[in-house]
Structure 1
């Protein structure tokens, strides 16, 4: 195995060096498989994309240098990894295989859908492998592979044989765009199928400026679809990636951001995606959430891992901290309270605060510290406890008195709930915040997540969540009326999993009033006997498991 370092400050310079490698005659050597790691992982995908563009079908084969006259160029962008089957389908499409091949792939996917086989477990179809092999044998081809999986792929398993005498080659990289793991080459060095490992290093360019340049180049790929049409402002894409990297670094080993569910919520609620059309802003956020794979990487690392990460991309993004200081408040980061008690005036001057997460904190539920946050868009309470006040510790203070205390503040102090877009409650008493009085204020709420609630009365939700888009209730003990979801006309996602229902709560009903509902997950709810979706014409994805 040969290793090498490319001296390059730009994507274009790296592309030229890669083309020289691809043009080498390997009929007498075994250097057909080339892995490119980019600059500590960053920029590799952008380089491969540019190589594919330079050698693509739009350029006449005869116009290329003789050493780069591949008969077939198979560009497989699996940065967003789905399955080996999906990769096989991409190869078949690139080779324009006969209709019966595509029909076979469709039929097998339909059978797997019916049998409940998840996407990640779907493997190659043997007959399609043979067809790919017969189509490519005795031809010189180049495979350019963005491998978004965590394992190396032997393309021979897909019918692509790197015949040394035909001088066919593969250029590949690991885990697609925005890769923040810097040590992927260690696993590639153990490979039996890779012959050359190349990486890149900058020359005279300022390291911070160069790092920012690479982030912009990677973000530009996300901004354009495969047809070359701009779907997202590249500047917005860049800012969203920087924001995610910065938060990941500051929260290293401390905070769980739940990027998989909340990335678009952070971007929109914290003003990173600042568009006048708020629905458009959410659309942009949702697209980016699926396009940026780094958000699905667990950034809660152990001590040794965090030491390694400190010298790489999250730490480098933190060097750009001043760029973000005015997003919501004058400070950015985490404040750790040794005793866990949050005084009710903590955020008295945080009127512009857009996102707030309180984890394992104690505060007065009747006068919480975020009441002063009139611009609050995203509130996350995780394992929080009520801090008894003098009045609540009085043994004569009844539950009715507590409700009156909340009610007395409704018209003035609780105005912060009117601006709320996202509410996430985990292992926290929900009765006070999901009461009818509070829900009546949350007219703009778009997403509600409840996890680990006890004796959750969901009846208050009926008729009060007309703007809700996503509703998740998981791992909770709850009860509700059969038509609790009625009048949620805007709901697109419903997740109801791992819950325990009261004995008389046997059915879950979603009706035609939920006309925008697209995805439903009902899994492992003890006591649930009947689930109905009558009239849900937009339903695309349904997962039900006992």
Structure 2
């Protein structure tokens, strides 16, 4: 349904405010109102005035009584999420609700979601709804996006209050006439009931005073929306807005690609609008991002022309048609003057107009012979701070502005030397003028102007206060760089770009940046013959931005500047223009494609290392066909995006991300990029290269060196695993290698070594295991007190498996988000799917104190060994639904699991026959809550089991149990262990049987039985089927336990005579006192 359209007639902000408030009182039908202002102009100022006026009314009419007034300024649009957060802040929602923004933003970071695409949070919308439903509210909303917003999705009740909003994307927004734009705008508003516009449409009806007043109100909005600027003089901000409008309307400001408007922050300072001081640059950059214009050029031109007629106007534009009436501009002084001409010669009467100017822009058309400037043109300019000359000719040896001692900014574009008698150079006065002139300069910008006289060592040495030097289209870095050595100590921004004259590569400029302690921006775009970066680049300790676009000859980039925030290397070539706010060139100014085949040069760079650039987060690399290694170790990058940050790098093989504490995600882009990578190293722990661990790759075996890709990753938050699934999945199963650790520990992986140290056949085998001692526990601790600290053989325990396989995962102490990632959808990329679907072969979980579950359900297709230890809150090792799908699991080793009730859970019936078919070793220690070990499948078989070693598990009643007792098929009569050779059971007082509900347990290969402290045990395995000639099994067991065992007889292979005579312990159950001993 289209909104109703209503025209109003006010000529100023206050009048428009009162009209809208009157409409609110009379309107009972429409509660969502859009206000278009004067063709888009002044709308935000009116809405801000309403927000200020309503709360200050003493006795407002009933229709204007609101329980809440919410003012939301999203004129600088970021995302729907940011808008919702502003609403929540305005409503002062509780901390728990506000914390949801941080949580969801972090989650979106790990998913690689772009900031602009982040949507509202449903739980927050519910809280906003609950907060507003009991009160009548007024919401005033400045919408900086391009589309109408459905506020119900944010929790705003469309029928519970009054909503007034407008589009406000720029400082000045204007659109054309009623007949074209108003109906079109209204048609696109699907959630709005009333569309209000002003019938006094902009310049066609408003006087220059009224128009100027609206402009001032719009400027005041900047202060209101930017807390940073609220202590700044409003007059200064208004002047900056007027100056920016002056630049926007200057017809030659971007002539022939020379975008002087990018210098706006410099102009404000050098003109004197923003006073010199510590905050000057910060204020100018902030205003530069706020003051922008949107609208048709002709419409903006009409507005500018009308505002220029106002008595407070400070700017003047003079064009060819004005030259005949130049005297009419002498009626009042002008601060900012732009003079443009095709081929007119400036006359001496122009001096009077320029005398009061603080900024002058003088430009001619591009011709074969540039017009010559009169030598006395700027004779009376004693306030001139900014001077821009384009396509002019003057004497380079004695320029007409030489005596302008107040000049701070000098910009020359396509200017040429007008030779004159060199006698002007003679005399001490000329030397003094040069000294005063150059000493006053803050910014020198030369574009396609080969002014060698000012770029000599002597002249550069006089520029003691220069903070910015830009040279475009003239000399290359090799030539200019050597002139800077030990000169310009206060230089902050240096650009030597797109040179047309190349020098010998052998020219030494290694020391060019010595003493450049203040340098923040360095742009060397287009220096294609430069082979190496200057060695003194590290001396620029405050460097924040480095741009090397089009530097085709550089082979290696090695940077260690700790304050570097932005880096760009675009093999497609230099950008068409740059910004002055300390950012790399925007995408809109970059080449759309590679240079043509004829012009295309080989971009040689093969290695880029930004290791140690701890503040770097803005990166752009593109069109680097020979790049093989990228090292971003220690950088502050959150999301590394191969679709927008690193592109067209077909030979990239090695990626280093060590010590990247802020890394949340890697967006890999096309499969082609993933397929080319051979080595990926990630470590998000702080200072990861300075701690013990696997920061750099371990030495790999001969076979593993050829696996692609090789992923070595240590990260704290398990959600980063989502980014590793893509490159791992691109490789064939037998062709990849990954070693992943989720931990914050400084000593992770210290015991893990490549599997080549141990053959496949001996992984975890008892004959190759080393033993270590543990503190004596259980019923024999009193014996150790008497005989010393050396444990008996019964206390020994095999060391956990350490043969790292090709696909290894470790989860250790300090890890985050493990539980949520394990429980996530196994069909999506996450840690759980990486452990199961993506063929993990070896797994080590240790020191995880916060999770009750560290293993996913689903199919464990390739797991061969599992080691779990010191996880006090773990309830189960393998949860219900976990399946040893292909039967590859060989070793289960678990220790110090205080809460674990089982190792492999009971669950749904499993009909496949592969379960545990490869299991060789089951080692369990210090699991006091353990009730059983493994749940068997429908056809239980352990054809490979060799070792049962279980100690200190006080509640363990059965080692193997049926998956579900409710089905008779689980009541097995016989369970075979054809390769079981060793049974070591210690301190298991509740153990009754090895296999629950089994009438017969067969172990024909049994060699050693060591049992102690198993007082409830009533049966040993039968030896039925034992080969002739085999020695009888050796038994070590307490006498009373041996005597209590039940036997089935010799025919069943289950009789004491089939075992060696048992060795009985000297110690039986310890006799404990029944009363407390007082000492």
TM normalised by structure 1 equals 0.76
Equivalence for 1:543: 618
Contact preservation (8 Å) 1:385, 1:428: yes
Structure 1 503/208 Cα, relative in aligned 2: closer, same or farther at 3 Å?
Answer: closer
Structure 1 527/89 Cα, relative in aligned 2: closer, same or farther at 3 Å?
Answer: farther
Q: Choose 248-257 or 14-23, whichever is displaced more.
A: 248-257
Q: Of 481, 487, 491, which aligns to 2:509?
A: 481
* Paired residues for 1:436-475 under 5 Å: 436-456=457-477, 457-475=480-498
Q: Of 166, 184, 188, which aligns to 2:185?
A: 188
Q: Of 300, 306, 330, which aligns to 2:353?
A: 330
Equivalence for 1:308: 299
- Per the TM alignment, residue 503 of structure 1 is displaced from its structure 2 partner at its CA by 4.7
Structure 1 78/428 Cα, relative in aligned 2: closer, same or farther at 3 Å?
Answer: farther
SS at match of 1:433: coil
- Note the alpha carbon deviations across 1:216-241, whole angstroms, 9 max, x for none: 22223334566698321111222222
Structure 1 254/533 Cα, relative in aligned 2: closer, same or farther at 3 Å?
Answer: closer
Gaps of 5+ in 1: 299-304, 392-403
- Note the alpha carbon deviations across 1:66-90, whole angstroms, 9 max, x for none: 5445565443212234455543443
Q: RMSD across aligned C-alpha pairs, in angstroms?
A: 4.2
Contact preservation (8 Å) 2:414, 2:447: yes
Gaps of 5+ in 2: 315-332, 337-351, 355-359, 566-613, 622-1079
Contact preservation (8 Å) 1:520, 1:541: no
Structure 1 146/206 Cα, relative in aligned 2: closer, same or farther at 3 Å?
Answer: closer
Contact preservation (8 Å) 2:9, 2:200: yes
* Paired residues for 1:160-239 under 5 Å: 160=154, 165-167=159-161, 169-181=163-175, 185=182, 187-193=184-190, 194-200=192-198, 207-224=207-224, 230-239=230-239
Equivalence for 1:534: 561
Aligned length: 506
Structure 1 311/533 Cα, relative in aligned 2: closer, same or farther at 3 Å?
Answer: same
Cα distance in 2 for partners of 1:69, 1:282 equals 44
SS at match of 1:379: strand
Structure 1 537/520 Cα, relative in aligned 2: closer, same or farther at 3 Å?
Answer: closer
Q: Choose 183-192 or 434-443, whichever is displaced more.
A: 183-192
* Paired residues for 1:365-514 under 5 Å: 365-387=396-418, 411-413=432-434, 415-429=436-450, 431-456=452-477, 457-476=480-499, 481-491=509-519, 493-496=520-523, 498-506=525-533, 510-511=537-538, 514=541
Equivalence for 1:351: 381
Structure 1 367/219 Cα, relative in aligned 2: closer, same or farther at 3 Å?
Answer: same
1:102 and 2:129 aligned: no
SS at match of 1:448: strand
1:132 and 2:125 aligned: yes
Structure 1 507/38 Cα, relative in aligned 2: closer, same or farther at 3 Å?
Answer: same
Structure 1 19/227 Cα, relative in aligned 2: closer, same or farther at 3 Å?
Answer: farther
Equivalence for 1:15: 17
Contact preservation (8 Å) 2:364, 2:371: no
- Note the alpha carbon deviations across 1:39-84, whole angstroms, 9 max, x for none: 343322122112223456x999xx8655445565443212234455
Contact preservation (8 Å) 2:212, 2:310: no
Structure 1 111/189 Cα, relative in aligned 2: closer, same or farther at 3 Å?
Answer: same
Q: Of 135, 140, 154, which aligns to 2:149?
A: 154
Cα distance in 1 for partners of 2:70, 2:118 equals 17
Contact preservation (8 Å) 2:144, 2:169: yes
Cα distance in 1 for partners of 2:254, 2:540 equals 42
Equivalence for 2:245: 245
Structure 1 134/518 Cα, relative in aligned 2: closer, same or farther at 3 Å?
Answer: same
Contact preservation (8 Å) 1:425, 1:451: yes
Cα distance in 2 for partners of 1:344, 1:505 equals 44
- Note the alpha carbon deviations across 1:380-430, whole angstroms, 9 max, x for none: 112333445688xxxxxxxxxxxx99x996554464222111222223336
Structure 1 452/92 Cα, relative in aligned 2: closer, same or farther at 3 Å?
Answer: farther
Cα distance in 1 for partners of 2:528, 2:485 equals 17
Give 1 or 2: higher helix fraction: 1
Cα distance in 1 for partners of 2:90, 2:410 equals 46
SS at match of 1:425: strand
Contact preservation (8 Å) 1:6, 1:201: yes
Structure 1 106/165 Cα, relative in aligned 2: closer, same or farther at 3 Å?
Answer: closer
SS at match of 1:288: helix
- Per the TM alignment, residue 146 of structure 1 is displaced from its structure 2 partner at its CA by 2.0
Contact preservation (8 Å) 1:342, 1:369: no
Cα distance in 2 for partners of 1:356, 1:152 equals 41
Cα distance in 2 for partners of 1:228, 1:375 equals 30
Structure 1 343/64 Cα, relative in aligned 2: closer, same or farther at 3 Å?
Answer: closer
- Bigger radius of gyration among the two: 2
Structure 1 437/23 Cα, relative in aligned 2: closer, same or farther at 3 Å?
Answer: farther
Q: Of 296, 302, 309, which aligns to 1:319?
A: 309
Structure 1 233/541 Cα, relative in aligned 2: closer, same or farther at 3 Å?
Answer: farther
TM normalised by structure 2 equals 0.41
Structure 1 408/293 Cα, relative in aligned 2: closer, same or farther at 3 Å?
Answer: same
SS at match of 1:500: coil
SS at match of 2:495: strand
Cα distance in 2 for partners of 1:428, 1:129 equals 59
Contact preservation (8 Å) 1:449, 1:473: yes
- Note the alpha carbon deviations across 1:109-153, whole angstroms, 9 max, x for none: 7559xx7x886xx21236x2563256327836544222334x123
Cα distance in 2 for partners of 1:463, 1:177 equals 43
SS at match of 1:210: helix
Contact preservation (8 Å) 2:42, 2:215: yes
Cα distance in 2 for partners of 1:168, 1:348 equals 59
Equivalence for 1:341: 371
SS at match of 1:356: strand
Structure 1 370/74 Cα, relative in aligned 2: closer, same or farther at 3 Å?
Answer: same
Equivalence for 2:268: 267
Equivalence for 1:288: 287
- Note the alpha carbon deviations across 1:298-317, whole angstroms, 9 max, x for none: 9xxxxxx54433432x1222
